[in-house]
Structure 1
Amino acid sequence: MSIVSEDDGREYIQGWRVAATLTALFLVSLICQIDRILPFVMAEAIKADLALSDTGVGSLTGAAFAVCYTLLSLPLARASDRGSPRLVIALCTLLWSTMTALGGFAASFLFLAFTRFGVAFGEAGATPAGHAIIARKINPEHRGLAIALFALGLPLGTMVGFAGGGAVSDTLGWRAALIGAGAAGAAIGLLALAIISPTPPIRSRATRNEPFFRASYRLLSSANFRWLFIGAIIGSFAAAPFYAFATPFLIRTHGYSAGEAGLAFGLLQGLMGILGTLIGGRWFDRAVRSGSGKVLGPPAILFLIASTTTAAALFASIGWLSILLLVPSMLSFAFLLPWGFGAAHLVAGKGKEAMASSLVMIASGLFGPAIGPLIVGLISDAATKAQMPNGLAIGMLTVPVASAVTGIVLLIANRQIAASLRRS
């Protein structure tokens, strides 16, 4: 038998169907990340061709995209929980791929901005729908690894996007890169629709009939989920400034060239992203099978370790030592992904996995990316103006502080969730 049925409408697949489904989801995640970062890679070419200012380029890739992406994820998550996440992820993939390709025909800032909002709209449904498919199709004993394989598209998509997107842009132009990525995404969307088996709605009257905002409020009212939600918010205040300023820090403080800093940081980040998601997923599955309910302890400890090493990295006098001391932070951000989403699904319960994922995405994708780098920049400018040495390092101290607080909050959430699961 290749399918195991449950009485709530779930059909756990087995054998080759598992590999095929996870491959399709990985490809969706991969092309999602590639399409998201292509404008970063080709910013200079786009700016020159369309005569844009830096402000215009920033608006295409900054807060407006993040706000649209995170806030639209909630209604699309609700559609995944109540309906067919298979159709949601396929239609969303086709939508953002079409808009990516249309961006290659843009002759003005307004048209390109319109296509990027379309990309944000489509990509907002990818993670919630993907997690809903995993929750309905993959046996709970292997769900952490499944989430990790899905999340693996993030670091690999970043690496492919920067390397491949830059190469295509240099040889064929930025328009060809967008059109090609859009065509590839459309093919992956159709492939996912063909490979992933139908996902009938879960037969739960409470899940289907509970109003949209009431369901969200009920989940956020739970102390277990609330602490996890707070941890995701604070964690984003560590991650966003880390990625925004790590390379400039290495260039200014240790004299690396942009190429040297980018290569060292990019390769290590890609490697830690792969190891962190895969090891984190397997470890999460073991924690769930243990029955202890302690499903956030290891990432909490890693964040506490990373806070110490990152603080040391900011004031290390040797360049290569500073880079090595940044590695635990790179690992911690990736390692948390399967633990955070997996714990959110456990707390939310059956039929609300996509909504739980969406709320975690809002927590991690809205506040920290919009405010965190700004805070670091303000502190760095103030320190430099006051003639303090290494002003950027002083500003980046917000990263280890936020990491330490994240670790503490995750330990509280770990204790709350464990107690709740034992009572149930």
Structure 2
Amino acid sequence: MTEAAAQSTDIRIILPVTSKQCSNEYVQGWRIFVILITLLLINAFSQIDRILPFILSEAIKSDLGLSDTEMGLLTGLAFAVCYSLLSLPLARASDRGSPRFVLVSCILLWSAMTALGGLAASFLLLGLTRFGVAFGEAGAVPAGHALIARRIPPEHRGLAIGLFAMGIPLGTMVGFAAGGAIGETVGWRTALVGAGAIGGLIALLTLLAAGPTPTLRRAAADGEPFLRSSRRLLASPAFRWLFIGAIFLGFAAAPFYAFSAPFLIRTHGFSTSQVGLAFGLLQGLMGIVGTLLGGRWFDRAVGSGTGRVLGPPAVLFLIASMTTSAALFAPVGWLSIALLVPGMLSFSFMLPWAFGAAHLVAGEGKQAQASSLVMIGSGLLGPALAPLIVGMVSDAVTAAQGSNGLGFGLLIVPIASVLTGVTLLIANRRIAPLLARR
């Protein structure tokens, strides 16, 4: 497909969706609140189950005798490959079927596998449970976005996506703070089993609160295979640059969350509970501010008619790259934590912009698919490779009698942040003229 043809495709698929085009009425009043609170809880507990091995990594390493490289595999490759590749078929099921069924099934699966992880006695068994957790969590975001697209009016989509995304920082905050304290008190195994049990209750709540969601007539009639449909989306220059930005985002975010806590513990002598409390609370606060501000700002950017829907997060990533670099070599612990804050904000602020822009380009009935492709971009290569690279660099520096091995390994975060910011600016230039013509 030529660039001109791709651009014409973009213009066709980003036309605004009206209520007449939607086969289901948008919900109003308290029903919006119920749906969004339920989705918020789903995303929060999804993140808790994902984040627990990060804050508990030192205890897991000691108990099972693992290296940093093996922990990089567990928190990176074992999760990322399954999570990313399965998100696309689960997104297709959400677009063409019932998002509620996808959500409930996925919650039950990842909760059960989280609990089984607490019983693992070896690297292999723990790795297999992480594959299972990734399988279940792969459907949460696409199905949640499909539910939002069918039930929430278009002028509030950015805020709704932001509220849904707020579950990530809330889950991170609880996972780091409570996970660290519980891990030190009763052990990492009990923490994982307890988190899995709570997930079963969330699945029941979802079944009751989400309500039946009939299939979109347009989506049901669209017989195009999802792989061909995905290639068509990626052929669009606007979406392709957004996808590349998502890839660099994964290389920045995955090692940031996987190794920031161990870095602060080893380099600055914090305890697990201290890091969990400080890092978790700050991440939660920045996440709440970032997702809400980002969602509201995105709605205003779309409503302004300028079409510039990626500039603000791009600038924030460029700023975060500088502060994160300084944080890795700060002389005192409190300064290092403070310098990590812009990075925390950049990741959460980005979420409504990335998914919202992807939905605009994809069009009605393909929002979950667009979300899935963004997730594949951010969740496959980066999370699979970046934590492993950090672990290998850390082990190599330590073997050479060097100090601050994790600090050197984590330099991949500011490098990837710069690339994310630059790529988003390019994507912004591609998307802006298309949206301006709406």
For normalisation by structure 1, the TM-score amounts to: 0.87
Post-superposition Cα deviations, 1:92-143, rounded to whole Å, max 9, x if no partner, equal 1122223334445557766655443332211110011001111111111111
Contact 1:237 1:372 in 2 (8 A): yes
* Distance in structure 2 (CA, Å) of the matches to 1:182 and 1:261: 23
State yes or no: 1:190 paired with 2:212. no
Equivalent position of 1:279 in the other structure: 293
Equivalent position of 1:213 in the other structure: 227
Deviation at 1:339, TM superposition (A): 0.7
Equivalent position of 1:266 in the other structure: 280
State yes or no: 1:257 paired with 2:270. yes
Specify the SS of the correspondent of 1:351: coil
Deviation at 1:35, TM superposition (A): 2.1
Contact 2:181 2:276 in 1 (8 A): no
Post-superposition Cα deviations, 1:191-242, rounded to whole Å, max 9, x if no partner, equal 1121113222222168621112101111111101100001111122222333
Equivalent position of 1:143 in the other structure: 157
Equivalent position of 2:27 in the other structure: 13
Post-superposition Cα deviations, 1:1-44, rounded to whole Å, max 9, x if no partner, equal xxx95343132111000000001111111221222233444556
Matches within 5 A, 1:16-415: 16-42=30-56, 53-54=66-67, 60-104=74-118, 113-169=127-183, 174-204=188-218, 208-247=222-261, 249-250=263-264, 255-259=268-272, 260-261=274-275, 263-317=277-331, 319-376=333-390, 393=407, 395-415=409-429
* Distance in structure 1 (CA, Å) of the matches to 2:252 and 2:227: 29
Q: Quickly say closer, same or farther: Cα 1:332–1:205, change in 2 above 3 A.
A: closer
* Distance in structure 1 (CA, Å) of the matches to 2:392 and 2:118: 36
Q: Quickly say closer, same or farther: Cα 1:375–1:110, change in 2 above 3 A.
A: closer
Deviation at 1:366, TM superposition (A): 1.4
Deviation at 1:286, TM superposition (A): 1.3
Where does structure 2 lack aligned partners over 5 or more consecutive residues?
Answer: 1-17
* Distance in structure 2 (CA, Å) of the matches to 1:325 and 1:36: 24
Contact 1:41 1:165 in 2 (8 A): yes
Deviation at 1:61, TM superposition (A): 3.8
* Distance in structure 2 (CA, Å) of the matches to 1:46 and 1:312: 29
| CA RMSD, 1 decimal | 3.1
Contact 2:173 2:283 in 1 (8 A): no
In structure 1, give the amino acid aligned to 2:172: T
Contact 1:21 1:196 in 2 (8 A): yes
Equivalent position of 2:14 in the other structure: none
Contact 1:276 1:335 in 2 (8 A): yes
Post-superposition Cα deviations, 1:276-312, rounded to whole Å, max 9, x if no partner, equal 1111111111112212211111101111222233334
* Distance in structure 2 (CA, Å) of the matches to 1:169 and 1:411: 42
Contact 1:202 1:351 in 2 (8 A): yes
* Distance in structure 2 (CA, Å) of the matches to 1:265 and 1:100: 23
* Distance in structure 1 (CA, Å) of the matches to 2:251 and 2:61: 29
Q: Quickly say closer, same or farther: Cα 1:292–1:83, change in 2 above 3 A.
A: same
Specify the SS of the correspondent of 2:211: coil
Post-superposition Cα deviations, 1:384-422, rounded to whole Å, max 9, x if no partner, equal 888988665555443333222211111111121111122
Contact 2:54 2:257 in 1 (8 A): no
Equivalent position of 2:6 in the other structure: none
Q: Quickly say closer, same or farther: Cα 1:347–1:102, change in 2 above 3 A.
A: same
Relative contact order higher in (CA < 8 Å, ≥ 6 apart): 2
Moved more, 108-117 or 408-417: 108-117
Post-superposition Cα deviations, 1:48-80, rounded to whole Å, max 9, x if no partner, equal 77x564477665444122211111111101111
In structure 1, give the amino acid aligned to 2:31: R
Q: Quickly say closer, same or farther: Cα 1:116–1:309, change in 2 above 3 A.
A: closer
Equivalent position of 2:15 in the other structure: none
Aligned residues: 419
Q: Quickly say closer, same or farther: Cα 1:207–1:174, change in 2 above 3 A.
A: farther
* Distance in structure 2 (CA, Å) of the matches to 1:26 and 1:169: 25
In structure 2, give the amino acid aligned to 1:351: G
Deviation at 1:274, TM superposition (A): 1.6
In structure 2, give the amino acid aligned to 1:334: S
In structure 1, give the amino acid aligned to 2:306: S
Moved more, 412-421 or 55-64: 55-64
In structure 2, give the amino acid aligned to 1:332: S
Deviation at 1:158, TM superposition (A): 2.1
Deviation at 1:175, TM superposition (A): 5.0
Q: Quickly say closer, same or farther: Cα 1:283–1:114, change in 2 above 3 A.
A: same
* Distance in structure 1 (CA, Å) of the matches to 2:116 and 2:401: 48
Where does structure 1 lack aligned partners over 5 or more consecutive residues?
Answer: none
Deviation at 1:378, TM superposition (A): 5.5
Deviation at 1:179, TM superposition (A): 3.9
Specify the SS of the correspondent of 2:385: helix
* Distance in structure 2 (CA, Å) of the matches to 1:322 and 1:161: 21
* Distance in structure 1 (CA, Å) of the matches to 2:188 and 2:112: 16
Contact 1:207 1:352 in 2 (8 A): no
In structure 2, give the amino acid aligned to 1:67: V
